Amino acid sequence: MKVEGFYRSIAAALVALVILASATITSCSTDGSASRRAVKTGVSPTAGSPSTMASPGVAALVIYNANVVTMDDNNASAQGVAIGPAGRIMKVGTNAQVLGLADKNTQQVDLRGATVLPGFIDPHSHMAGYAMYNDPEHWTDVSNINVLFKPLPGTSGCLDAKDYQHCFVPVQTQQDVTARIKAAVAKIRQSGSQIDPLPVLAFNYDASRLGHGAGCSKPDGLGLDCETFENGLARPQLDAIAQDIPIYVTSESGHISYVNTKALQMLNICNTSVASGGCHAPTTNPTVESQLAEKGQLDEDLSLYATGKMQGLVLNRYPTLAETLLQKAATIYAQHGYTLAQEGAATIDDIGLYNKVLQNCLPNKCPFPLSAAMVAYDDSSPDFSSIVATGVAGRTLVGSNPLLTVAMLKSFTDGSPQGYTAFLNSPYMQVFTPFTNGGIFQQPYVGLPDLSEQQIQQRLYAAHAAGFPMLIHQIGDAAIGNAVRAVMASATKDHSVPPPGTHDVMLHAPMITTAQLDQLKTLNPGVVVSIMSTNVYYYGLPECQQVLGPQRTMNIYPARAVRDRGLHLTLHSDTPVTPPYPLFEIWVGVTRQTQQPSWYPNRNTQTCPVIFANNPAYPGDERISILDGIKAFTTNAAWQYGMTDRGSLATSNVADMVILSSNPLDPSVVANPNLLQNIRTLATVSYGRYIPNPTANQPPVWPN
């Protein structure tokens, strides 16, 4: 789901960034004495780059007294790892073997029995988008998913239980949302800055997850039964709050945004009543999108364009803010075990930003705690050649930086189900305005395709010819059908395949069928199927009750079917749609538990059960094992990127590791997957740089 394209209008602000001087990550002691003093959690109090003073054949960093799970083909375990000054693994073995490679300049860390796994690799998210939302001064939180891991009311980290900007206080009704936007408008008025105000910005709104409030069509109405911004009347609703201050609201999926008239004028979208010279034209379904924009609803590419323009206003006013927020986001990712993050649809400006903060990281000290993979994208043109050009230019810009890669290109085949832009073979379970409007949408309404099968196939040719695999966003069963047929035709009829060692990615694919998976498993080279397991938890109930119905949701996101066919399965969060937390994503994949919010009651647990597995009415069990989940973020994720030197702990591999308080593969955890929520990330090792997690001793915020 889209959260990308934030930065097209802010190239100057992004490219001019400088590396932060971070106080949270310091260089290691040259005599090794400080790093030998392990704290109670079993991690060193210092962090930094591998020592540049190490002699040839001498380790720069040694971790020992650990439970090392290598994730290699032999399922080997060890006690320690020795890492060379170039950030590569020298030895995986016993304590004696790895300590034998140390001298007085070696950083040594006693893990006191903690578990070491290969660092978690992010198969798909949007870390820069996540960074920009994590800005309580400029973005109002109107979500009910704890994407930012805010402390809960009643805990020590939450100073004011009513402070939804710094504590997790979920919105429960449309009235909660409206109240928060009104408060943001009032704050501007009180400051006296309405002469040239920044827009009121609100993030991660989702009408489908709201409970009963005013304006509901049924006595027990929920979500889309009630008055929301997703009813074709967003513009007058937001105008009623303010007409002189721009208001801009993004959805949780990022596929839809909502505006008042003042904001619509600023965005200057073509074929609307407020458009003027030099207007911005939609690139996908232009007639439909222009008609919706007139109503204050911006779909798909218009939402991406608008978010970039609005965020650009903030960053242009505060030129150093982007670097601060990106550093904060990277730190949160690392604190949850990631050693490589993805920018899931990166413009050339995004790539420039990452290149700036990562270009001087080796072998010197580096405040940025992980490496990054870019998925090139350009939302300004319907011509795929612009996306190819972004990828090529990005690779030239990045050069040989080992911490940054332009991994693939991005294409969208449709939108999101709860936003009613997923392209289906048959109508939605329930359809609400504006999608019932026959003057705008063909009836019966089945969603909107972004690309045809032929267009997807043409894009695959172009991507492969330019030396890139393609990551293909696909949600609805009709869109998935187009994508699968295009991939099969590209490989089998026209022999267009990605470059050796790389793989096309079928992204999201919640409604992919076993027959389609059987087709994909015949391909050589194979494809990756990347499943958004967390959507089962957060959106299983709304999609079952209102959007798609139980028949199409009970076995949605079929991770086990992917695994059973020998296809490479990865899991992803699509952050900032859901939290960037691999252990949580694995837990959902293992349990297939759905959230039962107090404000959004389950009307019939027989029809829409808490656990989406083994329902007699809808046979199937898509639960996977914890080991499958770990592979999804290690060996399989490395295979997705074609990174043969990551994903497992072996001699000469990149020294990326996550250090956990206990082993997620321990038999006690396998027997009771709920124990995953007690496991803490104590530290990570990124390209040989040891980075402790200062929040490791705090109670974890398991997503709510």
- The tens digit of pLDDT for each residue in 8-65 reads 333 333 333 322 323 232 233 323 332 222 333 344 434 444 544 557 799 999 999 9
Pair of tokens at residue 637: 């994720």
Tell me the HSE value of 115 on the side-chain side, using a 13 A CA sphere.
17
Tokens 């990281």: give the residue: 361
Residue 589 has pLDDT above 50, yes or no: yes
Residue 699 has pLDDT above 80, yes or no: no
pTM of the model: 0.92
Distance (Å, whole) CA 275 – CA 83:
59
Residue 145 has pLDDT above 50, yes or no: yes
Q: Pick one of 3.40.50.20, 3.10.310.70, 3.40.50.300, 3.90.550.10 as the CATH number of 8-15+125-317.
A: 3.10.310.70
What residue type is 45 in one-letter code?
P
- What is the model's pLDDT at position 361? 80
For residue 405, give the H/E element and its range.
strand 404-412
By CB atoms closer than 10 A (0-12, 13-18, 19+), residue 19 is middle
HEC-encoded secondary structure of 506-532: EEECCCCCHHHHHHHCCCCCCCEEEEC
- The tens digit of pLDDT for each residue in 483-511 reads 999 999 999 988 999 999 999 999 999 99
- What is the model's pLDDT at position 363? 60
Q: Where are the beta strands (DSSP E) in 551-665?
A: 568-571, 657-660
Residue 99 has pLDDT above 90, yes or no: yes
Q: Is 389 helix (H, G, I), strand (E, B) or coil?
A: helix
- The tens digit of pLDDT for each residue in 221-278 reads 999 999 999 999 999 999 999 999 999 999 999 999 999 999 999 999 999 999 999 9
HEC-encoded secondary structure of 544-574: HHHHCCHHHHCCCCCHHHHHHCCCEEEECCC
- What is the model's pLDDT at position 494? 85
The CB density around residue 240, as the number of other CB atoms within 10 Å, is 11
- What is the model's pLDDT at position 380? 83
The whole-number average pLDDT for the span 171-180 is 98
The whole-number average pLDDT for the span 378-385 is 90
The whole-number average pLDDT for the span 205-212 is 97
Residue 339 has pLDDT above 70, yes or no: yes
The CB density around residue 342, as the number of other CB atoms within 10 Å, is 30
The whole-number average pLDDT for the span 61-72 is 97
Out of 345-359, 469-483, 561-575, 584-598, which region has the weakest mean confidence (pLDDT)? 345-359
- What is the model's pLDDT at position 125? 98
By CB atoms closer than 10 A (0-12, 13-18, 19+), residue 74 is exposed
- The tens digit of pLDDT for each residue in 399-443 reads 999 999 999 999 999 999 999 999 999 999 999 999 999 999 999
Sketch the domain layout of the chain as residue ranges.
Answer: 8-15+125-317
Beta bridge partners of 61: 83, 107
Tell me the HSE value of 570 on the side-chain side, using a 13 A CA sphere.
30
